[in-house]
Amino acid sequence: MEQIDTKKKYKLKRFINQLKNVRGRHTELVTVYIPKDYSLIKVTQQLAQEKDTASNIKDKRTRTNVQDSLERLIRHLRLYKETPPNGLAAFAGNISENESKVDIEVFSLEPPFPITTRLYRCDQTFVLDELEKQLESSSVHGLVVMDKREATIGLLKGSYIEKLHNLTSGVPGKYKTGGQSAARFSRLREQAAKEFYQRIAEVVNQEFLNKKELKGIIIGGPGPTKNEFFDAPFINNEVKKKVIGLKDITYTDEFGLEELVEKSKDLLADEGVTAEKQVLHKFLSMLATDPKRTAYGLKDVEKALEYGAVEMLIILEGKIDDKKAEELEEKAANSGAKTEIVSEDTQEGKQFKNLGGVGAVLRFPIH
């Protein structure tokens, strides 16, 4: 699965914001989450049963809205030949704000990261937690948890942890059996550990060397083993450059991957801030040294986009409305420009806000 890019991330955010604003008069808004690899036929059968059950709802208007929503949702799901690779989030309900009017709409989204929850719910609001979790991170990170006996390699994709490999070693325990000298036992144990480190490194190199979307690698383990592994000559240098931290953890199995992510929140947060600072530093530096290669403020940026002069479009989150931001991104994409969305959480972000919250680095001056 590819890294979630800015455009996908903010498409998801807009989708969530749109649905957040919908309120049902009763528990009549339908939410369905379908995990990857789960049968769509089973889901449509369940929804058909729920539609029959809804005939027991006493309030006539709520009953009609729920049944109509479920019918529309069933028809919509039948348009899919199979469940999308990351699953599907689907929603249906009366979105009309006019008491006397009914407007049943269906919304669906193939999310950027795998859905892991199967859910059907009728409520006064749509259930959006699963999608909101996917906004917590927009990067893919490599995870390695290991000691001398076991190693687990995985990926962090948004908030979803995927286990890739589990390896076990032939390194003997800490206590020798009879008939071996302590020195010989220690040498055997050390040799077996090196061989295991090499096996782990081969898998790490294979998984992470050419994975362009990888933003960083975090290695965890108890005691000094993770440092020994990192310092050993087995990890490819290009892979080693991607290591952003080593963390002390207890477990080396799938629980270890979860523990590593939990203990690495500081690294993951810092990395997001660093990326934003780099984008804004480039813009602000160019504004100071080569101002004709920049544009800021909505009017000037739109003009630069019309000329096809934009190399990088920068939008401050929440500064302009979603529809206008989407329009700008579309124009940028059509001319081959990158779009970066930034926050005002950094000093650079606050400076950028004072410039209007919309800016661009240009390929060529336009005035």
Overall average pLDDT of the 100-118 stretch: 91
Instruction: Tell me the DSSP string of 18-62.
Output: HHHT---SSS-EEEEEE-TT--HHHHHHHHHHHHHHGGG-SSHHH
Given a cut of 70, whether residue 42 has pLDDT beyond it is: yes
Distance CA 306, CA 360 (A): 13
Fold of the domain built from segment(s) 274-362: 60s Ribosomal Protein L30; Chain: A; (3.30.1330)
Element (H, E) at 8: helix 6-20
Residues 6+ apart with CB under 8 A from 136: 158, 159
Overall average pLDDT of the 239-249 stretch: 96
Least confident of 5-14, 107-116, 302-311: 5-14
Which has more pLDDT, 267 or 205?
Answer: 205
At 79, list the tokens: 């348009």
Beta-strand relationship, 214-221 and 160-168: unpaired
Single pTM value for the model: 0.57
pLDDT at residue number 272: 67
Least confident of 40-44, 136-140, 246-250: 136-140
* CATH 3.30.960.10 domain span(s) along the chain: 6-133
- Arithmetic mean of pLDDT over the chain: 89
Least confident of 152-156, 190-194, 232-236: 190-194
Overall average pLDDT of the 44-57 stretch: 95
Least confident of 1-5, 22-26, 116-120: 1-5
Element (H, E) at 256: helix 254-263
pLDDT at residue number 222: 95
pLDDT at residue number 325: 87
Beta-strand relationship, 358-362 and 294-296: antiparallel
Distance CA 28, CA 153 (A): 43
* CATH 3.30.420.60 domain span(s) along the chain: 140-263
Q: What is the pLDDT of residues 306-351, one digit of tens each?
A: 999 999 999 998 788 878 988 998 999 999 998 888 888 778 888 9
* CATH 3.30.1330.30 domain span(s) along the chain: 274-362
Q: What is the pLDDT of residues 171-190, one digit of tens each?
A: 666 655 555 677 776 788 78
| The domain made up of 140-263 is a member of CATH 3.30.420.60 | yes
Q: What band does 122 get if pLDDT is binned at 50, 70 and 90?
A: very high
| The domain made up of 6-133 is a member of CATH 3.40.630.30 | no
pLDDT at residue number 3: 42
Given a cut of 50, whether residue 117 has pLDDT beyond it is: yes
The Cα-based distances of 316 to 79, 129, 298 in angstroms read: 37, 24, 12
Distance CA 151, CA 249 (A): 12
Q: What band does 289 get if pLDDT is binned at 50, 70 and 90?
A: very high
Q: What is the pLDDT of residues 2-13, one digit of tens each?
A: 445 555 777 788
Give me the residue label for tokens 């650079």.
Answer: 348
Contact between 51 and 120 under an 8 Å Cβ cutoff? The reply is: no
